Structure 1
Amino acid sequence: MAKKDKADKAPKGDKAEKADKPDKLKRKDLAGSGMVSSALTQVARALRTRLSHGLATSGLYPGQDGVVQLLATEDGMTPGALAQRLGVKAPTMTRTIGRMEVQGFVTRHTDDRDQRLTKVYLTDEGRRSLAQINAAMAACEMQAIRGLSGKEARQLIKLLSIIDENLSDRPSSVRDVIDSDEDD
């Protein structure tokens, strides 16, 4: 048998493994690639679609759950304040509130101290829908994080919070809550 040249020999040990594996994506490679934007957009759409299906039985349309949740913590907000907190434009919020009022989830009243202001309040029906929203959200989140450990899920939330801060120029309220390394 003929002897093989050194050039014909396959690399040994770690060098062989490195030669067979593609290089890991580095941060500089991701910048401008569209991979982060594409992945986040797809996940957000999938999450919103799944949540919308879960909310369908409550009679709520996409986006209305956020209004109910916000009013449940701070009832009597102006449409402008709701729009700002939910990151939508005022006309969109006005239409949403009008629709929710017809559905019986909210009611509008003039402010007692400043007659120029209109404030939005949850009705009893709106308060009852909160349990359905929470159940739909819990089921959606359980499906979304299936296969992740508690530590991985917390890390995901922390990373998404950092991205949100980077893009919005506002501090996130989530990151401080998640600073725990214990595993579930």
Structure 2
Amino acid sequence: MERREEVLKRGKIWRRASPTDLSFTHEAWPFFHLSRLTSLYHQRMDAYLKPIGMDVPRWRVLNILVEHETTPISIIADLAVIRIPTMTKLIYRMEAENLITTQVSSRDGRVTEVCLTDKGRSAVEQVRAKAELIFQRAFHDIEDAEIDQFMQTMKKVFKNIY
């Protein structure tokens, strides 16, 4: 209860954003806006990616692998916030499409490691070009400092929930 009282002391917006408060409104609920933003982003990205045979989950995997080279499926699932069984199915579909390869870890036979193929690297370039269009549309009138603050706030909220 102390935590709730501490949050409520921060100001009027917090009271309206608290689902148990009588003044609660969905417009004050940050997750309402995050959900809408995420859904709209997925719709727009899917529209751009479908013509090149890609989708948002594949984009997430490819992007993670560009930065993390050979990576266990469990780490990819964690970074993408996707359940391991779902990620495993996606990984094997992407392997069948020759975007990635898998191998059993030499350090731990229970771990399957994933890495990009040349076709996967090429796909990353195509997908990033499409993602750039969405990024430019979304942030064209937002200052760098605002984007930085937005990123810091999202990371903080994620850490709090995680």
TM class by shorter chain equals 0.7 to 0.9
Which residue of 1 is the match for residue 101 of structure 2? 107
Whole-Å separation in 1 of the counterparts to 2:106 and 2:157: 40
Counterpart of 2:120 in 1: which secondary structure?
helix
Which residue of 2 is the match for residue 130 of structure 1? 124
Aligned Cα RMSD in Å?
A: 2.1
Counterpart of 2:48 in 1: which secondary structure?
helix
1:72–1:122: 8 Å Cα contact kept in structure 2?
Answer: yes
The answer as to 2:91 corresponding to 1:97 is yes
Q: 2:151 aligns with which of 149, 157, 161?
A: 157
2:45–2:55: 8 Å Cα contact kept in structure 1?
Answer: no
How far is the alpha carbon of 1:104 from its aligned partner?
1.4
Which residue of 2 is the match for residue 119 of structure 1? 113
Matched to 2:13, the amino acid is K
The change in CA–CA distance for 1:128 and 1:31 in structure 2 (over 3 A counts) is same
Question: What is the number of equivalent residue pairs in this alignment?
Answer: 145
- 1:42-64: CA deviation from partner (whole Å, max 9, x where unpaired): 01111122122222233222211
Which residue of 1 is the match for residue 13 of structure 2? 26
Of stretches 142-151 and 36-45 in structure 1, the one that deviates more from structure 2 is 142-151
2:99–2:120: 8 Å Cα contact kept in structure 1?
Answer: yes
Whole-Å separation in 2 of the counterparts to 1:107 and 1:57: 23
Counterpart of 1:63 in 2: which secondary structure?
helix
Normalised TM-score (structure 2): 0.78
Which residue of 1 is the match for residue 7 of structure 2? none
Normalised TM-score (structure 1): 0.70
How far is the alpha carbon of 1:120 from its aligned partner?
1.3
Q: Which runs of 5+ in 1 are unaligned?
A: 1-23, 169-184
1:3-18 to structure 2, matched below 5 A, reads: none
Q: Which has the higher helix share?
A: 2
How far is the alpha carbon of 1:138 from its aligned partner?
1.7
Which residue of 1 is the match for residue 53 of structure 2? 59
Matched to 1:133, the amino acid is V
Percentage of matched positions with identical amino acids: 22
Larger Rg: 1 or 2?
Answer: 1
Matched to 1:26, the amino acid is I
The change in CA–CA distance for 1:166 and 1:113 in structure 2 (over 3 A counts) is closer
Q: Which runs of 5+ in 2 are unaligned?
A: 1-10
Counterpart of 1:104 in 2: which secondary structure?
coil
Whole-Å separation in 1 of the counterparts to 2:125 and 2:76: 21
